[in-house]
Amino acid sequence: EIVGVSSGATATTSADPTEVTGGGVLHVLAHDATNDILYVQVLKGTMCADEDTLYYGGTNLATADHTDYVVAETGVEALTAYDISKTAPYIGVSTGTAIIGAPGVGIDNLKLNSSDKVLPLGETTLISPPLTVTNTLTGLVSGDQVLVAPTDGTTTDANGDPTVGAAWFTIKTTLDGAAETTVEVNEDLADSKIDAFLPSSGYIDIVRDDGAVTTIAYSAYSGAGDTFTITSTDFSTNNATAGNYCFVYQMHLTTALVGATETSAIVNSIIGSTPDSGTIRIVNDDGFHIRHPYSAYNDGTETFTITSYDFSGDGLNEQASIGSGVYVTYIDKSSGTSENFVAVYDNDLELTITVRDGAEPIKEDKRRWTFTNTNASLGVTRISDT
């Protein structure tokens, strides 16, 4: 701050004081330490002159230590005026439905939509905000149990219902050898929805004849032959007969969860359009699909930050080995009258919606839904089951 205004303090002097006029407040923009030049902007008052004393104001002028100062010795440059072009408005250009911002213009992100474009300082390429999409379920009542989970959009489970969290297949050729390396299925793996859902490599769960489920790594799948190429596995003493089910989850663990206070779940690849926070289900080694809230995820490390959970016991606390299934649940709760989930749109998602109500029994409402690039609403079908 440049000295000038009265501070309100009192003092005894040897002569009548003389009021000092002028002064102001300067905002430091940059410091050229090599040439000892300070670049400033006048916020209040007037620009200082040569050999004026400039007192340090800090970030709060009311509490600043004014004993700290510098002297503007020489070379105070006159202010430079800049004219704004009348042909290219400073704020940018409006298309009527969207704004195309001028270089460096900042706009409140809450006021922007995916049709708008802004140009960061120092960049030459316009960027657009992400497209945020809201999907809403209506017609719910308090106590409804609601689950919105991914599906491949084509296959069905053992009851003929849309699958939840995984793509289900039936084995075409019995697996009974000591070193089986392929699994042939009846479904069309070249189907566009199935192909979009399946990881290029991952893990497949195969139901053997005694009901046990074996998780086996696959290195590839072929839409031409409807086959998975798996790690050599012995089925000679416990077959997987043609017609048995096998399934592939949306994601799988790449690091086992075995500790008493696990807070991270690392997967093969976090899919597009995953909400910033929400819930995932992890299938543990006892087959339980445990719900885990996550507060964030990291695309670079493919890691979900989950609420601390004990994986060191049995049953609901059983460990989850490498290859265990993981899937996002977009709604996974006991509801109110309506529920929604919000996600940044990266790609379409095939979903299965399941609504149950035990307080006022209704028949389970289970059906497919597609998350697209537009907001959508779906009403629940309520059929009494008393």
pLDDT recorded at residue 170: 98
| R_g over Cα of the chain | 33
State the residue range of the domain holding 44. 1-81
The answer to whether 274 and 351 are in contact (CB under 8 A) is no
pLDDT (tens digit per residue) in 164-207: 999 999 999 999 999 999 999 999 999 999 999 999 999 999 99
What band does 62 get if pLDDT is binned at 50, 70 and 90? low
> β-strands 331-334, 132-138: how paired?
unpaired
Whether 64 is in a domain gets the answer: yes
The answer to whether 333 and 358 are in contact (CB under 8 A) is no
What band does 2 get if pLDDT is binned at 50, 70 and 90? very low
CA distances 158 to 163, 195, 247, 300, Å, are 9, 21, 11, 36
pLDDT (tens digit per residue) in 103-120: 777 777 767 777 888 877
When divided into structural domains, the chain yields a total of: 3
Q: Which of 334, 304, 332 has its CA nearest to residue 320?
A: 304
pLDDT recorded at residue 123: 75
48 shares its domain with 117? no
180 shares its domain with 225? yes
The answer to whether 251 and 167 are in contact (CB under 8 A) is no
96 shares its domain with 171? no
Number of DSSP helices (H) and strands (E) in the chain, helices first:
1, 26
Whether 326 is in a domain gets the answer: no
Could you tell me the pTM of the whole model?
0.71
What is the average pLDDT value for the chain, to the nearest integer? 86
What band does 50 get if pLDDT is binned at 50, 70 and 90? confident
Q: How far apart are CA 118 and CA 114, in angstroms?
A: 11
The four Cα atoms 104, 109, 112, 117 give a dihedral, to 10 degrees, of 30
The answer to whether 317 and 279 are in contact (CB under 8 A) is no
Residue with tokens 């307080």: 359
| pLDDT of 234 over the 50 cut | yes
Q: In this predicted structure, which of 4-8, 119-123, 228-232, 361-365 has the lowest mean pLDDT?
A: 4-8
Tell me which H or E stretch contains 183. Answer: strand 180-184
68 shares its domain with 97? no
Whether 298 is in a domain gets the answer: no
pLDDT recorded at residue 1: 37
Residue ending a domain, among 215, 249, 283, is 249
38 shares its domain with 19? yes
| pLDDT of 75 over the 60 cut | no
Average pLDDT over residues 224-248: 97
More confidently predicted of 136 and 102: 136
Q: How far apart are CA 252 and CA 265, in angstroms?
A: 10
Whether 18 is in a domain gets the answer: yes
Whether 134 is in a domain gets the answer: no
CA distances 40 to 25, 26, 37, 70, Å, are 10, 6, 10, 13
106 shares its domain with 30? no
Q: How far apart are CA 246 and CA 326, in angstroms?
A: 16
229 shares its domain with 201? yes
| pLDDT of 47 over the 50 cut | yes
| pLDDT of 3 over the 70 cut | no
pLDDT (tens digit per residue) in 291-331: 999 999 999 999 999 999 999 999 999 999 999 999 999 99
Residue ending a domain, among 70, 101, 129, is 129
DSSP secondary structure code for residue 78 in this structure: P
